[in-house]
Structure 1
Amino acid sequence: MAKSPSSSSSTPASPHKPQIGLVACVAFGVGTTVGGGVFTLSGTAVNLAGPGAVLSYIIAGLVMSLCALSFIVVCTRAEDGESGYGPIGTILSPLWRFVVMWAFYLNGATIIAYLVTSFGEYLRGYFLPAAGTLVLALAATALVTLLNLGPTAVVARAETWVVGIKLALLLLFAVWGLTELRPDDLARPLPRGTGGVFSAAALLFTAYTGFNVITNMAGSVKNPRKTVPRAILLTILVSGAIYLGTVLAMIASGITTFTATGVSQAAEIVMGPWGGVLVALAACLSTLSGANANVLGASEVILRMVARGDVPPALGRHTRKGHPYVSVLLLGIITVLLVLLNDTTFVVSVANVAAIIAMIVVSIAAAVLGFRKWPGDGARLPWGPAIPVLAVLAAASQLPSLDPAALLTGVLLTVVGGVLYLARHYDRGGRGTRASANRQIDNLSTPLMRAARRHPSGRP
């Protein structure tokens, strides 16, 4: 990936501002990405595609990598302190910048419901069999909501350890499973044909969307011209490697139909009962921390939209300590409603629709930059707009494989965002809230920024 002549130096940052480093970015990206995408969706993918689920993860990863390159060229043009989505307002229009940010807010809000449900499944299946999944999912929702109304710093300090524990246990399971893999396990790689592979790939699209949290904090990252591209690509590579290793280990178990706790099911066969318990523990930690990370990320998006004046200022109201209680409570209400819906596949599909809409718009913005010969200071791609155009086509090609009802719901929820965008013109008296949101962003004192800086290398 080439760069413009002036892109070797990053945008200068104010000396008093603490910035986010590479390790913190990757930890947040991987921590947000590797959650339900492996502990629950991997079983669903194998149920749909059999051993072909390996191809499904590869296809979804390749499509997401194309989109990630578009994100890189756009977000590396963000000004100091600006969200990585900010340049879209200049390249296309403020409306399209809003569409991207709103779509990622929807994606985060729906993924929270999916993660707390996965948490409930694993906790009930291996530790609290007398409790119901629904009750445990609602309890997890309440816990995550309360954490984000208060001591987020406590969770942030533990995030690096949680990421390390779950990655170590998944790596152990993957390596152990690969030693048990036999040619016969792959004898029928496409038992349900190519349709199962592509259906699973479309469902897995959201399994790679964790890197968007890096884009959101791009303007507050140390040396963003180098750090952001590296963090995004490392997040996708690390996550993809974990997914592939996990799926191959699951195939080695010989199980052909998995439940919602599929990874632990496979670990019991491959490693013994103790392996199933260890993986279940990692799943509980991962899904709960992932839900918390998505609340942080979604609240950050709302705060930045309030600062821009894109949504009614009331959504950005926060406590004296900076906790955005309106946004957090709204996320809690949305999560409860989606959990009560009790349809994980539908929830994930809606999240995918929102993510795909955002990917398409960002890739269009990158293509426009390519047609304009990559103006400004930021990353460039070879072959002009070819890669972003391919990303648009690849992302759009996932939509027909999704459930029609979920597709319609995702589009309608995006339209609801448009109504909020228009409603901002009728909301008076919100200048103080917008000014407060801007001060938090400028001082890197939003909950997400404070949490990111709690990582060992989160400071310069």
Structure 2
Amino acid sequence: MAKSSSSSPLPSSPAARPQIGLVACVAFGVGTTVGGGVFTLSGTAVNLAGPAAAVSYLLAGIVMFLCALSFIVVSTRAGEGESGYAPVGSILSPFWRFIVMWAFYLNGATIIAYLTVSFGDYLNEYFLPAAGTLVLALAVTGLVTALNLGPTAMVARAETWIVGIKLALLVLFSVWGLLQLRLPQLERPLPEGAGGVFSAAALLFTAYTGFNVITNMAGSVKDPRRTVPRAIMLTILVSGLVYLGTVLAMTASGITRFTSTGVSQAAEIVMGAWGGLLVAFAACLSTLSGANANVLGASEIMLRMVARGDVPPVLGRHTRHGHPYVSVLLLAAITVLLVVLNDTTFVVSVANVAAIIAMVVVSVAAAVLGYRKWPGEGARLPLGPAVPILAALAAAAQLPSLNPPALVTGFLLTGLGAALYFARHLQRGGAGTQLHANRQIDSLGTPLMSAARRPDRRQGGRRKVRPPSGPP
């Protein structure tokens, strides 16, 4: 396989030591994962699979768990300051590293649209019925865009609290519903037969992809070879338990056909009107924070692609405070287009195609590591390349269950990225923007890194970090 020095670690400095801890990683992972995946997709899953939607979530979780093992063995070989995707460049080739990063950028971009529509659905139905979903979705798109062109750190630092609030409310709903669940409710016929269970599982694949934000930060966390695997596993475990509890509580409501605000619908039956309002509040909070987290994560990926010289440098242009405004505005434009399209299933399916492409490539890279007997420092798996190969096959097996237009769109958009990559590597220039992106990453000066940092209690305050330098 081809190797390249372009995947070598970025230069580091004593002031740029990793300082992102386990709590911050898990908060961002769970915060990005438990968003629309539970508040809107749960209703869609029950409509497809009935009570067996719990099985669909379980199947999707198992596939994602296998893929996560591949991500762990790859990301724990990242150098200090590198993205967890960087080792793909030396294991396979820089092109495949780029494909993984581009696919996750596409995944984040499409998920933002899905989350803003979910926010609009809940806010419209429960709090602002006169406004309309489309208007509210476009308004929150503007809000999230503005947040990411300004002081995002303050908003993003509240992510731990936001995650805690929404998880507490979902656990309350789950426990309340499980206490009312009866066996006959689980014996209802499947609306779409056994095929509905697998269709729902394929659609739910993206419900677990939030852990990739942890992979993105892998080279900038404290003790990454311990923290990253724990954070990824905790994110999938917590998310999976929340999903299972929620879908079983929804089954206890007796409703057989849910709208896009299905969790609140079920909460109204299970807990009363106050429960519906509480869950709707959690949904608005969750989808808003999830959209913001995805903008942060996608912009981080874009900066790293610029730093590698993989995309045109214009995509890395930034404000004087270091915010990549071109990437943020591009995400806003994509979001507006998809919101106006008004086809949630299509949007989620495209996001799934992008995620599956990334999962397959990373799993292949992990299989190569297993074939080579796990060289270098980092996590290892039993049975050599067997587990990563199984992960790649399991991820690819989800594709036939997605609708054909979404499959074609997902692969075309991935191909567009490949064209950008090859066009960029045939050109020269943009060194100033590329240098600035490197310095931002090296100093933990990107918006995502600034948001994820926590004070160093051992020194009684925040560790000082060298501000990014370079052209304004």
Q: TM-score, normalised by structure 2?
A: 0.93
Asked if structure 1 preserves the Cα contact closer than 8 Å seen for 2:138 and 2:336, the reply is yes
Match of 1:43 in 2: 43
Instruction: Give the corresponding residue for 1:8.
Output: none
Give the direction of change, closer, same or farther, for the CA distance of 1:432–1:418 in structure 2 (3 Å limit): same
2:441 matched residue in structure 1: 441
Paired with 1:210 and 1:314, the residues of 2 have a C-alpha distance of: 27
Q: Quote the Cα distance in structure 2 between the aligned partners of 1:427 and 1:324.
A: 22
Matches within 5 A, 1:291-330: 291-330=291-330
**1:459 offset after TM fit, Å?**
7.1
**Percent identity among equivalent residues?**
81
State the distance in 2 between where 1:194 and 1:420 align.
Answer: 41
Mapped contact 1:20–1:459 kept (Cα < 8 A): no
Instruction: Report the CA distance between 1:242 and its aligned residue.
Output: 0.2
| Equivalent residue, structure 1, for 2:8 | none
Name whichever of 147-156 and 299-308 sits farther off: 147-156
- Distance across 2 between alignment mates of 1:223 and 1:126: 44
| 1:227 aligned onto 2:233 | no
Cα deviation, residue 422, structure 1: 1.3
Closer, same or farther in 2 for the Cα pair 1:255/1:459, shift >3 Å? farther
In 1, the alpha carbon distance for the partners of 2:456 and 2:260 equals 34
Report what 2:201 is aligned to. 201
Question: Does the CA-based 8 Å contact 2:157-2:452 persist in structure 1?
Answer: no
Separation in 2 of the partners of 1:92 and 1:376?
Answer: 15
Once the two structures are TM-superposed, the CA of residue 43 in structure 1 deviates from its matched residue by: 0.2
8 Å Cα contact 1:156/1:455 also seen in 2? no
Aligned to 1:5: none
Deviation of the 1:14 alpha carbon: 5.3
1:21 and 1:459 in contact (8 A); partners too:
no
Conserved? CA contact 2:73–2:379, under 8 Å: yes
- Give the drift of 1:157: 2.5
SS in 1 for 2:425: helix
| 1:165 counterpart residue number | 165
- The amino acid across from 2:320 in the alignment is R
- The 8 Å contact of residues 153 and 454 in structure 1, kept in 2 or not, is answered as no
Checking the alignment, whether the CA contact within 8 Å between 1:122 and 1:284 is kept in structure 2 is yes
Partner of 1:239: 239
CA distance in 2, matches of 1:246, 1:276: 13
Give the CA deviation at 1:427: 4.3
Post-superposition offset of 1:13: 8.0
Deviation at 1:159, TM superposition (A): 1.4
CA distance in 2, matches of 1:30, 1:92: 30
Deviation of the 1:425 alpha carbon: 3.0
For residues 191 and 425 of structure 1, the distance between their equivalents in structure 2, rounded to whole angstroms, comes to: 51
Inter-partner Cα distance in structure 1 for 2:393 and 2:218: 26
- Answer whether contact 1:165 1:282 (CA < 8 A) is retained: yes
- Pairs within 5 Å for 1:131-280: 131-188=131-188, 190-280=190-280
CA deviation profile, 1:139-172 (whole Å, cap 9, x unmatched): 0100000000001012123211111110000000
Task: Give the whole-Å Cα distance in 1 for the aligned partners of 2:153 and 2:365.
Answer: 35
Query: Would you say the 8 A contact 2:37–2:204 is kept in 1?
Result: yes
Q: What amino acid maps onto 1:171 in structure 2? A: V
Change beyond 3 A, Cα 1:189–1:245: farther
Q: 1: CA distance between counterparts of 2:82 and 2:314?
A: 21
What is the identity, as a one-letter code, of the residue corresponding to 1:233?
A: M
Which residues in structure 2 correspond to 1:325-344 (within 5 Å)? 325-344=325-344
Q: Could you tell me how far apart the structure 2 residues matched to 1:139 and 1:81 are?
A: 35
Q: Which has the higher contact order (CA 8 A, sep 6+)?
A: 1
Q: Distance in 2 between matches of 1:14 and 1:215?
A: 21
Structure 1 position 188, deviation (Å): 2.5
> Structure 1, residues 239-294: CA drift from partner, whole Å, max 9, x if none?
00000000000000000000000000000000000000000000000000000000
Contact 2:13 2:442 in 1 (8 A): no
Deviations 1:91-111 (A, max 9, x none): 000000000000000000000
Q: Which residue of 2 aligns with 1:6?
A: none
Q: Matched residues in 1 for 2:119 and 2:462: separation? A: 31
**C-alpha displacement at 1:112, in angstroms?**
0.2
Taking the aligned partners of 2:377 and 2:306, their CA distance within structure 1 comes to 27
Matches within 5 A, 1:4-153: 15-17=14-16, 18-153=18-153
Give yes or no for contact 1:115–1:287 (8 Å, CA) kept in 2.
yes
Q: Distance in 2 between matches of 1:426 and 1:149?
A: 31
Instruction: Judge conservation of contact 1:26–1:235 (CA < 8 Å) in 2.
Output: yes
Cα distance in 2 for residues equivalent to 1:92 and 1:83: 16
SS at match of 2:15: coil
Tell me, which stretches of 5 or more residues in structure 1 are unaligned?
Answer: 1-11
Kept in 2: contact 1:312–1:427 (CA 8 A): no
Taking the aligned partners of 1:250 and 1:241, their CA distance within structure 2 comes to: 14
Equivalent position SS for 2:257? coil
* Structure 1 residue 455 displacement after superposition: 7.9
1-structure distance, mates of 2:214, 2:78 = 12
Task: List per-residue Cα deviations over 1:364-395 (Å, max 9, x = no partner).
Answer: 00000000000011100000001000001100
**What is the alpha-carbon root mean square deviation over aligned residues?**
1.5
- Local SS of the residue matching 1:16: helix
Contact 2:21/2:454 (8 A) holds in 1? no
The Cα shift of 1:16 comes to 2.3
Deviation at 1:419, TM superposition (A): 1.1
Q: Distance in 2 between matches of 1:191 and 1:349?
A: 20
1:7 aligned residue: none
Shift of 1:313: 0.7
Measured in 1, the distance between the counterparts of 2:211 and 2:287 equals: 16
